[in-house]
Structure formats: C-alpha cells, structure tokens
C-alpha cells in the first residue's frame, strides 16, 4: 500500500516536536565512555610518578650517584606535570542544558522548521535514530506512528507509558 509522504510528514514532524523536548534531549546526552577510564589511567600514572619521586628521595639517603639523582629529580616531576596537564583535556565534555538546547533549536527556527528544511537523507536519519515506525490502516484511513525514544538513550514518559515503564511513544494520525 502506498501513502503519500507529504500527507503525513508535517503531522509526524509536529508530533515529534512535541515529544522530543529539550529536557528529553538533555537527558539523552552521555559523556564519551572512555573519559573515566582515561582519567583512571592518568591518575594511576601520577601515583606511579609520586612513588618514584619518593624512591628518588630515599635514594639520596642511600648514597646513590648524584648524576642519576639529578636526572631523576628533573625527569620525574616533568613527567608528572605533563600527565596532570592532560587531565583537563579529558574533562572538556559538558552536556548541554535544556535551556541551551532550546536556544539552539529556537535559533534554527524550532524542531519542526529544522525537520522541514532537512534533506531527505538527513530527515530519514533522524527518523531512523528515533525508531520511527509507521503503520497504515487502510480501512480506517489512519496511520499509527510509533517512536522508540529509548533507542536514543533517554527515559521519556509518553501517553502510553507509566512512570515505571520505558514504553515507546505512540500516536495515531489520519492520513490526508
């Protein structure tokens, strides 16, 4: 069965703009998975440098050669400082607030405008990411729309869900 795209896209986009809110988008943001792991590795390297610096200090008392001690006194703190300087770069991830997301979408004319002006390829990618599934009922001349917002990693409560479930959003629209 064929349903004209122009008969449903505007209604679908308006429905999406109502459920894909700045709050839902903000909740869906996740930091890159490797940030915590990289920080842990860097902190372990810093702890190792601190341990080696302590050993160099003890080496002075044990009578180690002065040339070796002098080289270590310069090398180890420089290595530690370099590792420490790399830590802020790993924490540059700052999620957008709902207000910032709203400001961005508003500056672009709102979500409906963004979708309406998107290329067919970009629009299809958005629909796919949101798990959009349309089912046409020719007898009732209705299209049932389903968006699985759980696919984008956020918890959004919809008209068919209860607070304890993570159900997809559902809506039915008349085809033109």
Write down the pLDDT at residue 92. 62
Task: Look at residues 130, 103, 145 and name the one whose alpha carbon lies nearest to residue 7.
Answer: 145
Which residue bears the tokens 């039915």? 172
pTM of the predicted model as reported, rounded to 2 decimal places: 0.50
For 39-79, how does the pLDDT look when each residue is reduced to its tens digit (9 = 90+)? Answer: 788 889 999 989 988 888 888 778 888 888 888 888 988 99
Q: Quick one: what percent of the chain has pLDDT higher than 70? A: 77
* pLDDT averaged over every residue in the chain: 77
Q: How confident is the model at residue 152 (pLDDT cuts 50, 70, 90)?
A: low
Contact status, residue 156 vs residue 127, Cβ threshold 8 Å: no
Cα separation, 58 vs 44, whole angstroms: 21
Cα separation, 96 vs 56, whole angstroms: 46
Domain boundaries, the chain: 5-29+97-174, 34-90
Which residue bears the tokens 């420089």? 78
Terminal Cα-to-Cα distance of the chain (whole angstroms) = 15
Write down the pLDDT at residue 48. 92
Cα separation, 174 vs 62, whole angstroms: 87
Write down the pLDDT at residue 158. 37
Element housing 142 (H / E): strand 142-147
For 112-142, how does the pLDDT look when each residue is reduced to its tens digit (9 = 90+)? Answer: 888 888 898 998 888 888 888 888 888 888 8
Looking at the predicted structure, is the pLDDT value of residue 159 above 80? no
Looking at the predicted structure, is the pLDDT value of residue 110 above 60? yes
Please tell me which residue, 57 or 89, carries the higher pLDDT value: 57
């Amino acid at each position: 069965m064929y349903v004209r795209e122009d008969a449903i896209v505007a209604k679908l986009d308006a429905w999406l703009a109502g459920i894909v809110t700045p709050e839902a988008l903000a909740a869906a943001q996740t930091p890159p998975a490797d940030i915590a792991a990289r920080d842990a590795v860097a902190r372990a390297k810093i702890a190792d440098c601190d341990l080696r610096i302590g050993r160099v200090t003890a080496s002075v008392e044990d009578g180690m050669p002065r040339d070796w001690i002098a080289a270590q006194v310069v090398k180890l703190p420089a290595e530690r400082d370099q590792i420490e300087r790399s830590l802020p770069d790993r924490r540059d991830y700052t999620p957008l607030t709902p207000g910032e997301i709203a400001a961005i979408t508003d500056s672009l004319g709102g979500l409906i405008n963004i979708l309406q002006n998107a290329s067919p390829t970009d629009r299809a990618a958005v629909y796919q990411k949101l798990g959009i599934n349309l089912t046409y009922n020719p007898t009732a001349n209705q299209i049932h729309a389903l968006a699985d917002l759980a696919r984008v990693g956020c918890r959004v409560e919809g008209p068919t869900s209860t607070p304890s479930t993570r159900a997809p959003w559902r809506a039915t629209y008349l085809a033109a």
